[in-house]
Structure 1
Amino acid sequence: MSILKYATHTTRRSMPAMGLLAGAMMCAVGTAQAQDLPSSMMWSAYDVGSSGYAEASAIADAFGREFGTRVRIQPSGSAIGRLQPLVNGRTDYAFLATEAFFASEGVYDFADRSWGPQDLRALGGRPASGGLATAADANIRQVSDVKGKRVAYVAGNPSVNVKLDAMLAFAGLTREDVDAITFPTYAAAMSSLTEGRTDATFTVTTPGLMYELAESPRGIHWVEIPQDDVDGWENMDQVAPIFSPYEETVGAGLSEENPVSMVAYRYPMVVTRSDLGDDEAYAFIKSLDEAYDLYKDATAVMDRWEIDQFGAPPLDVPFHDGAIRYLEEKGIWTEEHQAWNDKRKDRLEALIIAWEDAMEEGGELSDSEFADIWEEHRSNALINFN
């Protein structure tokens, strides 16, 4: 597996102020081909104040300045709120996180009979890092050491919880092998380590609560996820096939001199429907690439939108054919990438067929009865992909 290693800005630069209508439009068209993009677009994204919204806004501003394209961003604090406009065709692009995986798998909010597996495609995704954060005094030095320890989960937050389940799976463990403690909020779960109520959780490296843990009497320790542990990575892929190896140097207890091997996932990803035209997808990712210099300094992590990082799997859903065409032209797309994409598409197609069978069998049954039927069909469909 290739190692993703990023140079992160150490200072945050201010982004141009903007509202929902992103960017002041310039009449002149830049050097890229503005006719490849529509004159106006609507995107969905995370709520105002989130990093996903800030990054989408920076790109929207760049599209306005470079191509004269007006972008309206529709923010939402819920996964359904971000996906509904996309699948209904009110938006063609959504800046998403792990809910893209959940929607494609038909799980959590998307196991409802009104949803099921969604035929989504990605244009790419900005790498983000995360790992198994532990209190240093818990003496968890490898993933298997977490067995029997107190592990913090977050109620109603499948994005965090599935990543934590994947970390456990790396060592062949499940929630049954640990003392799983569920907290009502993300903040409560993260602070539970400092407070001595838990010993480990999954998180990104830069929240203030992790810096507090590092400065507390307990201290912080990030568990290594060895890049060469083939069995561990295969086990993790069975739970969430969205990770790649990553060496992090920025965050609580980390530095250039003290890096830790973690995982990379994608947030935000630019996601669309499978029926979006190839030329439209091609034009969008081409514009992202050509406008990069205009937005790369907008936030501390915008340099990770560089096309070599943005345009490589794995991520939560298959790449769109139009995006692949551009990545091939740039010399980024490899045979290994295509093999990953083919397998990911096969998995999604198998789940869509399994959903149709489940609906035919249990469409008139109660919600709980249907949930059991769908889980059985889904599990059978995934046997060939694990």
Structure 2
Amino acid sequence: MSNILLKTLGATAIAIASVMPAAAQETELARSMLWSTYDVGSSGYTEASAVADAFGKKFDTRVRIMPSGTSIGRLLPLKTGRVQYGWLANEVYFATEALYDFSVQEWGPQDLRIVAGRPSTFGMAIATDSGIKTIADLRGKRVPRIKANPSINIKVEAMLAFAGLTWDDVQVVEVPSYGAALQALVDGQADAAGTTPTAATLYELEGSSRGLSWAPLPEDNAEGWAAVTDVASFFAPATVTTGAGISEDNPAQIFAVRYPMITVYADADENEVYNFIKALDESFDIYKDATSAMPNWAISEAGTTPQDAPFHPGAIRYLKEIGVWTDKDQAWNDARLARLENVMAAWETATEEAMDQNISSKDWPTFWEEHRAAIEK
């Protein structure tokens, strides 16, 4: 009887196990990591520090952070393998497109992938007394362009494109820094400026006699948004209700961007990336209140498209598991990956032709840009 009972119990246990879901894979992180970020004091550094602290508390992983004030300084350690993850900004896009610092022959298009990226917003702040109501009204008006800051300038360029404008259609005010651009707006030396809605200087403008408004980028303007995404594919419509000159009763229709973006190279180990984004999700409750921006690191927000580069397969695997990754995300990712592959192929072709034609390093940037411009979108 006892043998029959044991066999029956055993068979029952096997049957139950066969219909039960497999236990979730335990998150496995390296004992130590090194990440690159923006300078100490930047939001990217602060946010990375908060996540690093959470990883230490929950997974006993020790994280060291390597800050840098330049795009090359943040990306080079990732390229050489010195750091495992970069908490980056629009240098991700520039690197995949071989633009600006990355157009030199020593760099070229970088095969980067996104793990996750926090949603942020950006818009065109305007002085109310300028009479500007729409992006189209910026024609002939004074707009700051920041020296050696393509990350901000490309956003302004995209907003101008919304109304079919370029830098040639406005009075360019050359300024040395982002802060100087906003101060020019406050001091009456500019009529509008591209900025995040929470920049401290904007509250000064809001309370001044000039007043503060936001040039709208309505989501239902399909032609305008096609022009925006033609400049760069990482922009998306956003309606915000907090910030200078903005409220629940007076929302601003601007656009969403990502910063910072946790970035790796395409050849990063899929299981390691999977575990990283899983850890990011599982430790969210520890770091979510570290700054006012940290709630936007919820994976349901930070794990969606568009971003500045395609997502890594390890991240996609986890996002699919938790139901965040959609068909729309997959379609965007496929198109973005195809674009990156086309850019890398064009770089190889341009490099071979440059050798045949004895193109000098001085002439290379122009030569490459001609090839890049011919790539199908």
Q: Distance in 1 between matches of 2:108 and 2:202?
A: 36
The secondary structure found in structure 2 opposite 1:367 is: coil
One-letter amino acid of the structure 2 residue matched with residue 188 of structure 1? A
CA offset at residue 32 of structure 1? 8.5
The equivalent residue for 2:307 is 315
* Deviations 1:95-130, CA, capped at 9 Å, x for gaps: 011111111110011111111110000011000111
Q: Distance in 2 between matches of 1:143 and 1:288?
A: 38
* Deviations 1:310-336, CA, capped at 9 Å, x for gaps: 000001000001111111111111111
State yes or no: 1:97 paired with 2:89. Answer: yes
8 Å contact kept, 1:32–1:290: no
State yes or no: 1:54 paired with 2:46. Answer: yes
CA offset at residue 251 of structure 1? 1.2
State yes or no: 1:269 paired with 2:261. Answer: yes
The secondary structure found in structure 1 opposite 2:374 is: helix
Unmatched 5+ residue regions in structure 2? 1-23
The secondary structure found in structure 2 opposite 1:38 is: coil
* Deviations 1:168-196, CA, capped at 9 Å, x for gaps: 01111111111111111222211111211
The equivalent residue for 2:190 is 198
Q: How many residues align?
A: 352
8 Å contact kept, 1:33–1:67: no
CA offset at residue 60 of structure 1? 0.5
The equivalent residue for 1:215 is 207
CA offset at residue 278 of structure 1? 1.2
State yes or no: 1:66 paired with 2:89. Answer: no
CA offset at residue 199 of structure 1? 0.6
Give the TM-score taking structure 1 as reference length. 0.89
For 1:1-386, list aligned pairs within 5 A: 33-34=26-27, 36-363=28-355, 364-381=358-375, 384-385=376-377
CA offset at residue 210 of structure 1? 0.8
Q: Distance in 2 between matches of 1:91 and 1:32?
A: 26
| CA RMSD, Structure 1 to Structure 2 (Å) | 1.3
The secondary structure found in structure 2 opposite 1:53 is: helix
* Deviations 1:265-321, CA, capped at 9 Å, x for gaps: 000110000001111111110010000000000111100000110000001000001
One-letter amino acid of the structure 1 residue matched with residue 373 of structure 2? S
Give the TM-score taking structure 2 as reference length. 0.91
CA offset at residue 366 of structure 1? 2.2
Q: Distance in 1 between matches of 2:301 and 2:95?
A: 24
180-189 vs 314-323, greater mean Cα deviation = 180-189
One-letter amino acid of the structure 2 residue matched with residue 104 of structure 1? T
8 Å contact kept, 2:281–2:298: yes
The secondary structure found in structure 2 opposite 1:140 is: coil
Give aligned-pair identity as a percent. 51
Q: Distance in 1 between matches of 2:271 and 2:168?
A: 48
Structure possessing the higher radius of gyration over alpha carbons: 2
Q: Distance in 2 between matches of 1:221 and 1:367?
A: 45
The secondary structure found in structure 2 opposite 1:172 is: coil
